[in-house]
Structure 1
Amino acid sequence: MPIRPFVSSRRALGLLGAAALATAGFAGAGASPASASPEAAHFGVKPLHSTSQGVQAQTTRATSTSTLSVGSSGSQGVVSPTPKVYLVFWGSQWKNDPAGVAPDMQNMFKGLYGSQDTWGTILDQYCEGVAKGTVTCGTKGTHVQHPTSTPLVGTWFDNSAAAPTNATAAQVAAEAVKAAGHFGNKTQAPNLNAQYVVLSATGTHPDGFPNSGFCAWHDKTSSSYGNLAYTNLPYVPDTGIDGCTTLTDGRALSGIESTETHEYAETVTDFWPSIGWNGGNGEIGDACVNLDSFVKLSTGSFDLQGLWSNAANNCVTKG
């Protein structure tokens, strides 16, 4: 997998093989609180690259080795059939948001639905409840449904105290569990589609960011509320303009938009990693980290990362 701005995934780590990631803190986060038990490594890794590397990488094309197949015949936790996103702005440090990440992330998700969102329609070809190894769902199984209204169903500024300056992976997982309780998702049923995006404020360094070589990662954690899908999303603008994106548009927000759409799509299609959809180059976003596109939604224009489509046999930015 080519190196692209920050992202994390156990499969991606194996594909990257980069020495820089060896010290990223990806060796298992220990069990932490009794209510949260994060996995030993993380998924959806979006690696960091320089602007010049990103431009050169635009010429690289994914191949058929990127074809995704489902890793389990399970009917739960393989995909998120009706995606629901909860944005968790962690810590009192969010009183300082120089790039305007908080409103931008909310506006982006408020536009990821309906007929104008042709990017999100890439996801509805993938399903759960089919034989392990399936590459084409057809009419079988339970498919991801393209949202008819915003998938953003909750936003929480957890600002009663400061978040750790150098949060461990276990602490990020614990914050996701705390968020599930805050939103009232206290059984497994609502958490079969909920993904908790834990956003850290500028100047903080969750799981070693930015020196650990990733833009963000997603994973699952077990808890008293069931298995929870969550994302560790650092303050990507701290990497500088054009960090974590192959675009060179000079926008401070492009990198975090690209990063989070990578994580969102991979969470939807590999909900409890890694029993969902994977291929020779990783999850749905891993093969396509070289493809970004500035896309107009009903709520504005955003940098959306390309995704692998089995139907198109290529990286695409629309279904």
Structure 2
Amino acid sequence: MRIRPFSTKARALGLLSLAVLGAGSFAEAGTAAASPALGHYGAKPIHQQAQPAARAQATVSNTLSVDSAGTQGVVSPKPKVYLVFWGSQWSKDPAGVAPDLQNMFKGLYGSKDTWGTILDQYCEGVAKGTTTCGTSGTHVTHPSSTPLAGTWFDKTAAAPTNATAAQIAAEATKAAAHFGNTTQAPNLNAQYVVVSATGTHPDGFPSSGFCAWHDFTTSSYGKLAYTNLPYVPDTGAGGCTTFTDGRLLSGLESTETHEYAETVTDFWPSIGWNGGNGEIGDECENMDAYVTLSTGTFDLQGLWSNSANKCVTKG
């Protein structure tokens, strides 16, 4: 289980001391306190500290191994991202989250994207416990065109102010129907990023101690991989990133690249790639880098590379 809590210590415990909340911009939000939703994955702390350079580059014993010999749902061989901006509350987007996420994913492909090439060393269809795929199995393929397969502003009704995990999963299922992915086949690569609007508190955010999480749900269209992505800029500049330059969207980008990479490499958690400290992004949550893509410069979180045996920001 990997809920992305406020601190490294809280991550290890799997829950958050609410004393941390007093330092955040949501101290007066008035939402009910909640412990992290058990069973969800890929959690990241809201307030972080950058690793010293020596530590960030040091060899760490966190080799990822595959947890299943399965040929489906272990990784996403050809990643496709569907952004779902949930609720009529998206008439307001003060931080510019919607255009920023679209631009980031529109640039995550090809030769300019050296970050995404970290992922293609991981595969499915190999023996459980494998740590090096080599030429075996079906590898994650680095996209040759944008992985952004669709964007939907679902403004038909207001999203719940305090959405439950079940309601978030139901929105992902609704999105699968909207995009026409109504069989398991297209949903072997589709990930639905359910993005909540400013002022909402999906699954207790931020009191439940995460920037975002990912999981899968079972539907009449097969198993669906999805992400619960709150309105991260509501935490203020510096939330969910190690950067302290005051850029409001950095934490959003760091969080979503964390979740994207973990969904790609542990598609139906947790039968994919995991190590002693969790999924591919968990070990490296204190490493951020500004990476220039064809569509702009974005804060991409470091990922664990078995081939390099350390956290890296490029393959």
Written as runs of structure 1 = structure 2, the 5 A alignment for 1:80-159 is: 80-159=76-155
- Whether 1:20 and 2:17 are equivalent positions in the alignment is yes
Q: Secondary structure at the match of 1:65?
A: coil
CA 1:55 to 1:314, structure 2 compared with 1: closer, same or farther past 3 Å? closer
1:48 to 26, 46, 49: 46
Alignment partner, residue 226 of structure 1: 222
Unaligned 5+ residue runs, structure 1?
A: 29-40
Alignment partner, residue 190 of structure 1: 186
Distance in 1 of aligned mates of 2:54 and 2:17? 24
The alignment's TM-score, normalised by the length of structure 1, stands at 0.89
- Deviation of 1:66 (Å): 1.1
Q: Secondary structure at the match of 2:150?
A: strand
- Whether 1:255 and 2:251 are equivalent positions in the alignment is yes
Distance in 2 of aligned mates of 1:57 and 1:205? 33
Whichever residue aligns with residue 222 of structure 2, its letter is G
Distance in 2 of aligned mates of 1:46 and 1:178? 26
- Deviation of 1:18 (Å): 4.1
Runs in 1 of length 4+ with deviation above 2 angstroms?
12-21, 23-28, 55-65
2:62 to 63, 66, 81: 66
CA 1:19 to 1:251, structure 2 compared with 1: closer, same or farther past 3 Å? closer
Kindly provide the CA deviation profile for residues 88-115 of structure 1, in whole angstroms up to 9, marking residues without a partner as x.
0000000100000000000000000000
Unaligned 5+ residue runs, structure 2?
A: 19-32
CA RMSD across the alignment: 2.0
Q: Is the 8 A contact 2:36 2:209 kept in 1?
A: no
Distance in 1 of aligned mates of 2:64 and 2:10? 18
Alignment partner, residue 206 of structure 1: 202
Distance in 1 of aligned mates of 2:177 and 2:14? 37
Whichever residue aligns with residue 194 of structure 2, its letter is V
Distance in 2 of aligned mates of 1:166 and 1:253? 23
Q: Is the 8 A contact 1:15 1:282 kept in 2?
A: no
Q: Secondary structure at the match of 2:83?
A: strand
Alignment partner, residue 310 of structure 2: 314
Q: Secondary structure at the match of 1:54?
A: coil
Distance in 2 of aligned mates of 1:184 and 1:204? 28
- Deviation of 1:17 (Å): 4.0
Whichever residue aligns with residue 244 of structure 1, its letter is C
- Deviation of 1:14 (Å): 6.6
Q: Secondary structure at the match of 2:234?
A: helix
The alignment's TM-score, normalised by the length of structure 2, stands at 0.90
Alignment partner, residue 234 of structure 2: 238
Q: Is the 8 A contact 2:37 2:203 kept in 1?
A: no
Distance in 2 of aligned mates of 1:313 and 1:175? 38
CA 1:90 to 1:281, structure 2 compared with 1: closer, same or farther past 3 Å? same
After TM superposition, the structure 1 stretch with the greater mean CA deviation from structure 2, 246-255 or 70-79, is 246-255
- Whether 1:275 and 2:271 are equivalent positions in the alignment is yes
Distance in 2 of aligned mates of 1:259 and 1:100? 16
Alignment partner, residue 7 of structure 1: 4
Distance in 1 of aligned mates of 2:53 and 2:40? 26
Alignment partner, residue 78 of structure 1: 74
Alignment partner, residue 36 of structure 1: none
CA 1:167 to 1:292, structure 2 compared with 1: closer, same or farther past 3 Å? same
Distance in 2 of aligned mates of 1:265 and 1:184? 24
- Deviation of 1:63 (Å): 4.4
Kindly provide the CA deviation profile for residues 142-201 of structure 1, in whole angstroms up to 9, marking residues without a partner as x.
000000000001000000110000000000000000000000000100000000000000
Identity over aligned pairs, percent: 77
Q: Is the 8 A contact 2:82 2:192 kept in 1?
A: yes
Alignment partner, residue 32 of structure 1: none
Kindly provide the CA deviation profile for residues 272-303 of structure 1, in whole angstroms up to 9, marking residues without a partner as x.
00000000010000000010000000000000
